[in-house]
Amino acid sequence: MADQITDLSAVELRERLVRGDISAQEVTEAFLQRIHALDPRLHAFLYVDTEGAIAQARQVDEQVLTGARRSGRELPPLAGIPVAVKDNICTKGIPTTCASRILEGWRPPYDATVVERLRRAGAIILGKTNLDEFAMGSSTENSGFGPTRNPWDLTRVPGGSSGGSAAAVAAGMAPLALGSDTGGSIRQPAALCGIVGLKPTYGRVSRYGLVAFASSLDQIGPMARTVTDCAILLNVIAGNDPRDSTSANLPCPDFTRALQVEVRGLRIGIPRECFVEGLQPEVREAVLQAARLFSDLGAVCEEISLPHLDYALPTYYLIAPAEASSNLARYDGVQYGYRAKAGDLYTMYARTRREGFGAEVKRRIMLGTYALSAGYYEAFYLKALQVRTLIKQDFDVAFQDHDLILMPTSPTVAFPLGEKVTDPLQMYLNDIFTIPVSLAGLPGISVPCGFANGLPIGLQLVGRPFDEETVLRAAFTFEQHTEYWKARPVTSDTVTRDKVKE
């Protein structure tokens, strides 16, 4: 029974919960059981809130489901559905560490807006998922508490930084998860774990309670095994929040209404700059095949150019670290988190940060501090802002004649643990196709579009600002015409690398 439940999508779980076939508690226990069975190997979770989740499920059973079944009232959209939450999103009373030693043991006194909305929608919060420390990385190897492994191959990375959320969903430890995406941190791990991940338009989802990495880029988004589940989760978390000044004051559509199998007449641009050296041949082939499928279904696919794409990576690695250097200044040992012992204030500051932060975080803080310093500000930070504007303009031009842009999510499939962790530049190249989309603030989704050596490949679809609907419609259409999303990694208790490779 347990395995059966954990195979279900959020939509299927909801049907059964509404009918009364299963209870929220049964659902929650099934997922918890699977977490306890698999997670010692995968390490997708940093914290599993077993008691809290069961208590919450009981409450939903007693107060929400029973009442709704009796009165015939509409159920809250996620009533009784478990969700895993990336550990850089604040959960009241539940540890929120950002996978950093410096925040070990910190329990926020408040819920992030998205978590409030999850609770209001009846969702059960299973626990907190692993990530690269402060979301800085593309493999979840930068976690201060050990890496997460890819359910498709335990010797490989799940991608990052939302690697814990991606692995949890891929392995059936949660039907839904929240990730955060600054330069590809939802889309890239979704691609590497063979699931669906959507980065909404910057401003679509409140950042209140998301521990900031780079404020002008960070965005929370849904991760799930199907496009429909992503849309349902997006419905719950999206919308204006007066506590986040950068959240857009725009009406939010019902995103599930966009889920139609229809792409006829859709004009899809394929940037020629994406098909360059470094792109794995199988990835290239899978993405071009996806384009052919869209053409067959009546969409118009054309080659386009994003001339400043080459500059996206260096631009990102000035803006994001600059903001991070300031955002992470607050971890100083004074108020909360780790504090090193020292005789005076400045030694305490220095030791706390030296001992509390990992190497990649320190690298980016130094980069960003440098980029903002007097005498360098104009040459680096300000210049990067100007290039960011050019990259945005590239997309603006492309969207004059096209409704959607299609490209790979990641240049390769999941790579072995340890392969790139000592080579930051190689690691950064993982996000070469997701970063430009982040810089332009656009909505982008990654959907499974093939396999190479048994490892999933992701297709990225990018839309106009606040046009998640077209992105979702195209992704849904693609999903309905393919089978890749149905594949599941073999993750029984006896799973070994060889078995997965068969």
Partner 1 sequence: MRENATTKVQDEFEIVIGLEIHVQLLTASKMFCGCSTRFGAPPNTQVCPVCLGLPGSLPVINRKAVELGLRTALALNCTIHPQSQFHRKNYYYPDLPKNYQISQYQYKDHPPLASDGHLTFEFDGQARTVRIRRVHLEEDTGKLVHVERDGTVLYSLVDYNRSGVPLMEIVTEPDLRSPEEAREFLSRLRTLLQYLEVSSGRMEEGTLRCDANVSLRRRGEPLGIRTEVKNMNSLRAVEKALSFEVARQREILQAGGEVVQETRHWDERREVTFGSREKEEAQDYRYFPEPDLVPMVLDPAWIEEIRRTLPELPEERRRRYVEQYALSPHDAALLVENKAMADFFEATIKLFPQPKTVCNWLLGDVTGYANTHGMEFTDLPLTPEKLAEMLKLMEDGTISIRLAKEILEEMLATGKDASSIVAEKGLVQIRDEDALRAIVEEVIAENPNPVRDYRAGKEKALTFLVGQVMRKTSGRANPDLVNRLLKERLHG
Catalytic annotation, pick one of 9, 138, 185, 206: 185
Binding track, positions 214-233, relative to partner 1; x by CB under 8 A: xxx-----------------
Angle at 312 between CA 307 and CA 316, to 5 degrees: 160
Contact between 169 and 195 under an 8 Å Cβ cutoff? The reply is yes
Is 213 near partner 1 (CB under 8 A)?
Answer: no
Choose which of 50, 246, 295, 389 interacts with partner 1 (CB under 8 A).
Answer: 246
Site size for partner 1 (CB under 8 A): 43
Question: Minimum Å distance from CB 252 to partner 1?
Answer: 19
Structure tokens at 342: 């020292």
Q: What is the DSSP string of 266-285?
A: -EEEEEGGGSSTTS-HHHHH
Q: How far is CA 471 from CA 121, 205, 231, 459, 461, in A?
A: 24, 16, 11, 12, 6
**Is 501 a residue of the active site?**
no
Q: Which is nearer to partner 1, 212 or 306 (CB)?
A: 212
Choose which of 89, 99, 447, 459 interacts with partner 1 (CB under 8 A).
Answer: 89
- Of 379, 357, 381, the closest CA to residue 369 belongs to 381
Candidates 154-162, 227-235, 326-334, 455-463; binding stretch for partner 1 (CB under 8 A): 326-334
CB atoms within 10 A of CB 1: 8
Catalytic annotation, pick one of 161, 180, 247, 410: 161
- Cα–chain center distance at 365: 22
Q: Which is nearer to partner 1, 138 or 180 (CB)?
A: 180
Candidates 38-46, 299-307, 325-333, 452-460; binding stretch for partner 1 (CB under 8 A): 325-333
- Tokens 């859709």 correspond to 266
Contacts with 286 (C-beta within 8 Å, 6 or more apart), sequence order: 449, 450, 452, 457, 459
Binding track, positions 33-62, relative to partner 1; x by CB under 8 A: ------------------------------
Choose which of 191, 196, 372, 447 interacts with partner 1 (CB under 8 A).
Answer: 372
Cβ-count burial of 216 within 10 angstroms (0-12 exposed, 13-18 middle, 19+ buried)?
A: middle
Q: Which is nearer to partner 1, 243 or 257 (CB)?
A: 243
**Three-class DSSP category at 91:** strand
Of 94-153, which residues contact partner 1 (CB under 8 A)?
Answer: 96, 98, 103, 106, 108-110, 112
- Of 178, 158, 183, 191, the closest CA to residue 230 belongs to 178
**Strand positions, DSSP E, 403-454:** 404-408, 444-452
Is 377 near partner 1 (CB under 8 A)?
Answer: yes
Question: Minimum Å distance from CB 222 to partner 1?
Answer: 19
Q: Which is nearer to partner 1, 36 or 243 (CB)?
A: 243
Choose which of 374, 386, 494, 502 interacts with partner 1 (CB under 8 A).
Answer: 374
**Dihedral over alpha carbons 6, 8, 12, 18 (to 10 degrees):** -10
**Is 161 a residue of the active site?**
yes
Choose which of 170, 212, 387, 391 interacts with partner 1 (CB under 8 A).
Answer: 212
**Is 392 a residue of the active site?**
no
Catalytic positions are: 86, 161, 185
Q: Which residues bind partner 1 (CB under 8 A)?
A: 89-90, 96, 98, 103, 106, 108-110, 112, 207-212, 214-216, 242-246, 322-323, 325-326, 329-330, 332, 334-336, 345-346, 349, 369, 372-374, 377, 381
